[in-house]
Structure 1
Amino acid sequence: MRMLLTAVAVLFAVITEGNSLICEHCTNLDAESCSGVFAACPDNVTHCVKGLERSSNGPYVIQLAFKGCLDPSKQPACCKEIVLRGTHMSLWLKRECCDSDSCNSGDIQGPPILQTPNGFKCLDCSSDQSATGCTDVEDITCFGNENQCVNFTGNAERPGEAVRAYSFRACATKDACDVGILSMEGIKTFQFDYKCSDAIQV
């Protein structure tokens, strides 16, 4: 009887593992793509993901290529156009999601860079020394689908860097406002305030 129960348990484990979604897993800093191992996801994961995240602070740009099992909490950010763009600071994220085994293999394609004004503007300022706001405010012209203005104050950690205090105002896409700053993949935020408002028509 004990042998029978053991055999049933082993068979159940094999069947359960066999039903798990298989995704490619990798990360690569300052690169356009990555490749890695294929492994099973936890039972609550229904999608694989691959993407690129880019952040700039002055001339210092950090880019993260990633693939893996999609955190269910980040599913609303799938295939969204997440852009926050200021003169000296910007955040950009492309995340592609799919729901079949090994579907996140292959290269990650970044979107074209839009530089055509769209008739909107926002206030623009940035600081990596303060989490209480920035004061050197100017106007910035919005591009493409950037029809929102964003105001961020708080603490953040970019990949490979320590936690710092940040404040910035910038143009943003509606998707960036709808899914929020927590949708970012490599950037972690702490004790922050994140507000969006309609961009100003020129």
Structure 2
Amino acid sequence: MMFILAVCSALLTAGAALKCEVCSALNANSCSGHYETCKSPQSQCMVTLTESSVGPVIGGVWSAVLVKSCGSAYDCSHPATLTTMEFRVRVTTKCCDKDYCNNSTVDWKQPNSTLNGVTCESCFARNSATCDVKVPMNCSGDETNCVQYSASREGGSTITLAGCASESMQRSQGRAAFQGSSISVKGMQNRNGAESLRHNPFLLPSLAVITIRIFAQ
């Protein structure tokens, strides 16, 4: 009798597992792939759009990666964004909790550009492990943290940056800015809320630094 109850319980548990579409696409608002059964604690079907740009706001190099997958409820309610002088990343996620519910095209809203009262020092340096902070930046939307770190591509290329970041970007230790890459984290310099890096000039080697190895696609 106990054996039968255990089998029934296992079948019910398996039947309750969420099934989501899994795929990815470059510079598109949809993709098609296969379906997977989500594993605990994944409770949501997700569609995640990671947009990034390097260079000036007008005329810079822009790219976007769309991913459909299983995920956690936290990722659904905490967008990850990062804004610096010449590098910007926005990770937007839409979620649902029914089988196969992420298999449609998604319409994305424009980012929140309302100033939030936080000011961070911003810099962006290519091929350098240091970055002189010299340009104050007014943060907007959910970007209430001031962060700084270095990112290194395997083989030698390094960028160093500082700017405004959302709580989720800070919590990920900067990993969300380079989704899908192999990342090694050593530490992070962060200020949040009313605090600002504006009155705290720095050279990155003297502080905790994130080192991120970005493998070539």
TM bracket, shorter-chain basis: 0.7 to 0.9
Letter in 2 for 1:154: A
- Measured against aligned partners, the alpha-carbon deviations of 1:92-136 in whole angstroms (never above 9, x if no partner) come to 111233332112222233332333333321111012312x33126
Paired residue for 2:117? 119
Tell me, yes or no, if the aligned pair for 2:146 and 2:163 is still in contact at 8 Å: yes
Which residue number in structure 1 is paired with residue 54 of structure 2?
57
Tell me the residue number matched to 2:24: 27
1:9-52 superposed Cα distances (whole Å, 9 cap, x missing partner): xxxx9988655421111100122322333333456643322110
Q: Is the contact made by 1:125 and 1:135 (CA closer than 8 Å) also made in structure 2?
A: yes
1:173/1:15 CA distance change after superposition, 3 Å: closer
Please show how residues 1-202 of structure 1 align to structure 2 within 5 Å: 18-42=15-39, 45-58=42-55, 59-70=60-71, 76-130=74-128, 132-135=129-132, 137-155=134-152, 164-183=157-176, 185-198=179-192, 199-200=195-196
Is contact 2:126–2:159 with CA below 8 Å preserved after alignment?
A: yes
One-letter identity of the residue aligned with 1:67: K
TM-score normalized with structure 2 length: 0.68
Structure 2 unaligned spans of 5+: 1-9, 199-217
What SS does the corresponding residue of 1:177 show, helix, strand or coil? helix
Offset of residue 139 of structure 1: 1.2
* Count of residue pairs brought into register by the alignment: 184
Counterparts of 1:116 and 1:201 in 2: how far apart (Å)? Answer: 20
- 3-state SS in 1 of match to 2:168: helix
Q: Considering only aligned residues, what root-mean-square deviation do their CA atoms show, in Å? A: 3.3
CA distance in 2, matches of 1:24, 1:45: 13
Q: Name the structure where strand makes up a greater proportion of residues.
A: 1
Q: Tell me the TM-score normalized by structure 1.
A: 0.73
Identity of aligned residues (%): 25
SS in 1 for 2:136: strand
Is there any run of 5+ residues in structure 1 with no aligned partner, and where?
A: 1-12
Deviation at 1:190, TM superposition (A): 2.7
